[in-house]
Chains A and B, each alone.
Chain A
């Protein structure tokens, strides 16, 4: 048995490089910005500490709180579309790719299906806007102009772009299942469908759960696709405004809006706690139970 001291030394030695870069260029700068959410820099000549005043203002001022709740609800909808469409489709793609009937074509399919994930949102926004344009596209209905359909439409564009990520995650997980497990199932006479759900899926459930919670985190930090399509005041009637665009608009301002870094940092901090709480609950409750299936 190793001595604890040696373990500590090794742990610190091995993780020090990652720690230094991560702490120095991500954590400390972020903490420095979060400090702003406890400051008031607009009313006097110098910034003063105001405790939770900005948080109170965010939730009690009628106009800011309306924007915040609206963005929060929209963000849940944005996430729900990813959860309901992106993950099942990604899983289906991964399952098809690992089908034993594929030989040389597997790599070709996998590469082609992943290509949208390599594109910048500028292309994605441009081409889909063209395709669904009521004037020259294939859809007559103004999908992006209707407050009810605009957000699901943008979410589906995002799904189109990023579905390759869950696909590749789940694909690598499926491929890692040892052959003998599958052979045993085959001997039982189970068909492909039952093998998949009874044997394979439980084995990759932890990865499936992980990608689901990552999707939650990514959609709640989401910003790019909405911004590329609708700018920082996403309409119609703020129906596509999500927390990321709200933060950006508040923190940096826009061509017609004066920046408010204090309130922007407040928004970002609230979003961070939202993400942290749900993620913590997920790991405490769900992922622990999934683990028990692991080999």
Chain B
């Protein structure tokens, strides 16, 4: 194992020596909390899902503890913005939770390389998943390090009452989509799209990476970028960025400073007809009792193959420095069981099982999201796999480029040219 912080460990030890020498005190310090006697073990589970605390504490963890006496699990959420920083600091500092939620792709690959995780190859925890499900959390050689927990889908939520009132049909092509937006705008009563550009990430994750695969043909385009056979300046990609730009006239006034949270308020107050968002926001979208349905990203031309964004969102791995590896492994094995998988997706509507066994969804809207997958080819978000492992990271660059397209009129051609140039400055295609 190699650690980025190896040189400072030595200095920190020196720091302690200086302290001991100077203070000369005999305080031995209290030992950090370890397990009490007997076989009882407490595992901590670090996660960025602060929203799910109640579900884990009240439903999921009790189910595990009931079948695994002697093991207690403590849910330890950290806000998503601070999560990576906190995990890295704690693990490099020699502490950290026993079980760690894994970010997909490049960030996790860096964590694997730095030796944060215990390998899971050959364990029961990963047996029931196919390669695609595991792919987001493997090392460069394809060995799994995290149990896939859930994936999320992107789509367009719409207010059915507004659609009925204006006599609108769900659009299936880009032209129909623009027509629908135009009709809503002309009615003058509603904002067509609850979409703002203050948060760059959602422009990418919920709009471009949702609509775009219909143009760059899902995995063809994504893997093409990775192996260097395609470029962002190719016509398919430019067309995708153009489809994104075409939505601009239908944004609310002051969209430049509208945040992701504001957008959802605009939608749930019934002031906007459509919101591009992820399946994880099902509870928020229906919080005010609005009648909400969902449609998938429209295709370019009638009859085209439909592509649906399905993104591996969370995995859970074991801290390589955990002192309770056996118990942690038991927990990971349990995560792979149908018991957990169906409990999880039904307690947290909007998250979808990544296992090979079919799961039904109690939540109506969740089921509708799941139905979006049936006639579509699936693809994860464009730029998180390999393309964001260097400087400048493509994903971050896309957020900014998309903001500039809406805020300062950057053209699809210029945006894609800039992005490709940034990528070319460091990225060497795999093959």
Contact = CB atoms under 8 A, between A and B. Distances in A.
Give chain A's interface residue range (CB within 8 Å of chain B).
35 or more
Given A41-B6, A46-B6, A142-B254, A256 B400 contact: no
Contact of A142 (B106, B257, B393): B257
A36 B7 contact: yes
Contacts of B255: 142, 145
Interface in B1-27: 2-8, 11-12, 14-16, 18-19, 22-23
A144 B257 contact: yes
Nearest to A49: B7
Interface stretch (A72-80, A233-241, A282-290): A233-241
Contacts of A16: 22
Interface string B81-97: 10111001100000000
Nearest to B261: A129
A146 interface: yes
B22 A20 contact: yes
B418 to A, nearest CB: 11
A31 B14 CA distance: 11
A128 to B, nearest CB: 11
Given A135-B254, A238-B400, A252 B103 contact: no
Interface string A26-45: 00110111011001011001
Interface in A261-295: 261-263
B353 to A, nearest CB: 23
Contacts, number: 176
A63 B19 contact: no
B5 A233 contact: no
Given A20-B22, A253-B84, A258-B106, A29 B257 contact: no
B404 interface: yes
A254 interface: yes
A23 B2 contact: no
Give chain B's interface residue range (CB within 8 Å of chain A).
35 or more
B63 to A, nearest CB: 29
Contact of A133 (B15, B19, B80, B262): B262
A238 B407 CA distance: 13
Nearest to B399: A233
A3 interface: no
A47 B7 contact: yes
Contacts of A134: 253-254, 257-258
B395 A257 contact: yes
Nearest to A45: B2
Contacts of B256: 142, 144-146, 236
Nearest to A42: B4
B396 interface: yes
Contacts of B384: 256
Contacts of B5: 36, 261
B78 interface: no
B407 A29 contact: no
B4 A256 contact: no
B407 A237 contact: yes
Contacts of A64: 391
B239 interface: no
Interface string B221-239: 0000000000000000000
Nearest to B107: A258
Contacts of B7: 32, 35-36, 39, 47
Given A133-B262, A254-B396, A143 B110 contact: no
18 contacts: A20-B19, A24-B18, A47-B6, A47-B7, A63-B422, A133-B262, A145-B254, A233-B200, A235-B200, A236-B403, A252-B85, A255-B81, A256-B106, A256-B388, A257-B107, A258-B110, A258-B388, A263-B391
